[in-house]
Amino acid sequence: MSKPPLGFIPDPLMLPLERILPSRKLPEGVLNSRKFHQIVASIEAVGLIEPLSVGKADKASGQHVLLDGHVRVLALQQLGFVDAPCFIATDDESYTYNSRINRISSIQEHQMLRRAVERGVTPERLAKALNVDVSQIHKKVSLLEGICPEAVEMLKDQHFSANLGAVLRKMKPTRQVECVELMLTANNMTVAYAEALLAATPPALLVSEKRPRKLSGVTAEQMVKMEREMGNIQNQLKLVEKSYGQDVLLLVLARGYLGKLVGNKAVLRYLSQRQPDVLTEFENIVQTVALDGK
């Protein structure tokens, strides 16, 4: 199956601030807010970490509508910047983006912070600019150390705590991938869930081959049951992955066939008179638009 088109051009482009038009009015008092002062301090210390998000350029004026980053634009203007890096949306329906903007993923944040450190910005300076404890900066900079590339690829679009890396790196690569698959399947990217998976990991799949401390309130029988259930979930996930593409193709073909069938006037008349319940189900299937991922 082909991958869906990207919502934004992956590489940010430098655009003049004068060509960026706001899409909404900022609330009064934003210049005195803590968030605004934090953003100003961050830009002064390390530059703009997260690019702005803008729509396509207007063909007549060449201007872009700002989709996300209004406070950052205000901070850049106050600091005297004349341009800024921007992600440009590829979709013309830009009016929907304000409610669908996703913050940068944890791995993107790690890469930005690491790039800043490699350029000579100290962790202490980053911590001051972002108003966080310096230990958090160290954790985010070293987030992917000891994590296998396959697990990193699966986590690239996710948001998770910087402490998650410390849990995953206690496991061997194959177990890291298994745990990330289970976390994504359960839609649970918390450190507590990762620690539960770590506690259920056989010693042979641990880096130190030493079972971690037992979780409080969890008996040995419950741990055995959890390990068995996790194994079943993983096997079911693999089976679904193998058959998903073929199943979707068959469903799309079936929907197309039913669409032609219901479109036949004679068949439609017969079903409406003799089998109205069947006709209703056929029409519901034909109207379904999610089967082929569109």
Cβ atoms within 10 Å, residue 58: 12
Query: Domain 13-99's class?
Result: alpha beta
Residue 84 three-state SS: strand
Residue 18: the pLDDT is 93
Cβ atoms within 10 Å, residue 134: 14
Asked if 8 and 89 touch (Cβ cutoff 8 Å), the reply is yes
Element (H, E) at 191: helix 191-199
Residue 202 three-state SS: coil
- What single-letter amino acid sits at 122? T
Separation CA 46–CA 205 (nearest Å):
40
Query: Strand runs (DSSP E) across the chain, as ranges?
Result: 13-16, 20-21, 52-54, 64-68, 83-88
Positive or negative CA dihedral for 213, 216, 221, 223? negative
What is the C-alpha end-to-end distance of the chain, expressed in Å? 12
Please list the residue range(s) of the chain that carry CATH number 3.90.1530.10.
13-99
Asked if 149 and 180 touch (Cβ cutoff 8 Å), the reply is no
Asked if 157 and 151 touch (Cβ cutoff 8 Å), the reply is no
DSSP per position, 16-69: EGGGEE-SSPPPTTGGGSHHHHHHHHHHHHH--SS-EEE-PPPTTT--EEEEE-
Local mean pLDDT, 10-residue blocks, the chain (294 residues): 54 90 86 83 78 87 89 92 88 46 73 84 80 85 92 90 91 91 84 85 80 59 68 72 76 85 89 89 76 45
